[in-house]
Amino acid sequence: MRLGMFMMPVHPPGRSLSDTLAEDTTKAILCDRLGYDELWMGEHFSATTEPFPSPLMFLAGLVPQTKNIALGTAVINLPNHHPAIVAAEAAQFDHMSGGRFMFGVGSGGLAPDFELFDVFDGAVRQRKFLESIDLILKIWAQDPPYDLQGEFWNIRIKKAIVPELGFGGMPKPLQQPHPPVHVSIGSPDSPTARIAAQRGWGIISGPTAPAWSIASQWKTYAEACAAAGKPADGGNWRVSRCVLVAPSDSEAQDRVYGERTANRHYFSYMRQALFLARRLYMIKPDKSMSDEVCTPDAIMDECVIHGSPRTVIDKLVAYRERVGPFGTLLQIGIDWSGPNQAWEREGMRLLAEEVMPKLRQHTAAQAAE
């Protein structure tokens, strides 16, 4: 059982980019010092609430400031980029990080980004995503000449090849044949989970998906693995959750549901964003509940794991039994405005030092049975 941090990130829209960059850098370094195994950073071009257009650039700044933590993109939205640029930059970053890179990719999920890059059509967006990852993997798998034809992009270097000058060769990753590929999963019974299973990719279940949806994602993934003739490995499955550990259950309750809490801001933001996108069904704790009943508090009741270390251990064990054998828990990073910095710092330490060792003992004992 591995522990990671997933920073979308979500900050109040009035905060400056300089401040949020510095804050998330500090949090990432703290993760490394506390022994977190992984750090994932999101990508959005057109939301001041999620203000990181280049996760690779952010993660590159962490390479000399961290020692052991693996660094992942969650995700590079491939329809928004030329695949040759992604292939070259990702290969470069794999070398810069000494092979600590996890290549998270997706088709995107932010409406203003869809408008910005003219990819509103979901079917087109999915085809662009699949074509892009196929082209990237082909670039990494061969030397020039390149003549790769697609519906949306053509990759061609045939004439300007001078081997003695190195002309024409595209960068290859340090990890061979390539860094591990992971895709984000948001919807129940996700068809992307099926594609990931067929292609040997890892999956990352989103933080606001209710337990019934996350269980369906694993079922879809496991069935597709079986159909492909290979076992479903929970080590390839990451589940992201808001996890808040406090010295006592009562303190944790206050830090989740109080008016100044970053968790309240996070779930209010996500609820409104998905409502406006007509995708509120994705986060309803009960599929039959009305939109009006699906309040931020109702979503928090379903999606936040909180309490004392002992309580959180019990909740995580029960949650894993409910949804499936995920191999990595990704804690969602929250905004540090007001008292939230002190609360999350303490919670991260308690999660890493008191919760995870016991959770690892439990999962190891289960695996041995």
| Tens digits of pLDDT across the chain (369 residues) | 999 999 988 999 999 999 999 999 999 999 999 999 999 999 999 999 999 999 999 999 999 999 999 999 999 999 999 999 999 999 999 999 999 999 999 999 999 999 999 999 999 999 999 999 999 999 999 999 999 999 999 999 999 999 999 999 999 999 999 999 999 999 999 999 999 999 999 999 999 999 999 999 999 999 999 999 999 999 999 999 999 999 999 999 999 999 999 999 999 999 999 999 999 999 999 999 999 999 999 999 999 999 999 999 999 999 999 999 999 999 999 999 999 999 999 999 999 999 999 999 999 998 888
pLDDT at position 359 is: 97
Q: Which amino acid makes up residue 80?
A: N
Looking at the structure of the chain, the number of domains it has is 1
CATH number, domain of 264, equals: 3.20.20.30
Residue 349 located in a structural domain: yes
First to last CA, the chain: 16
Neighbours of 48 (CB within 10 A): 14
Residue 187 located in a structural domain: yes
Residue 90 located in a structural domain: no
Token pair in block for residue 223: 């069935």
Residue 158 located in a structural domain: no
Token pair in block for residue 299: 């979503």
Residue 198 located in a structural domain: yes
- What does the alpha-carbon distance between residue 150 and residue 171 come to, in Å, rounded to a whole number? 21
Neighbours of 190 (CB within 10 A): 22
Phi, psi dihedral angles at 159 (to 5 degrees):
-95, -40
Residue 115 located in a structural domain: no
Domain that holds residue 43: 2-74+180-368
Residue 275 located in a structural domain: yes
Residue 269, SS3 per DSSP: helix
pLDDT at position 6 is: 97
pTM: 0.96
- Residue bearing tokens 């808040």: 244
Residue 122 located in a structural domain: no
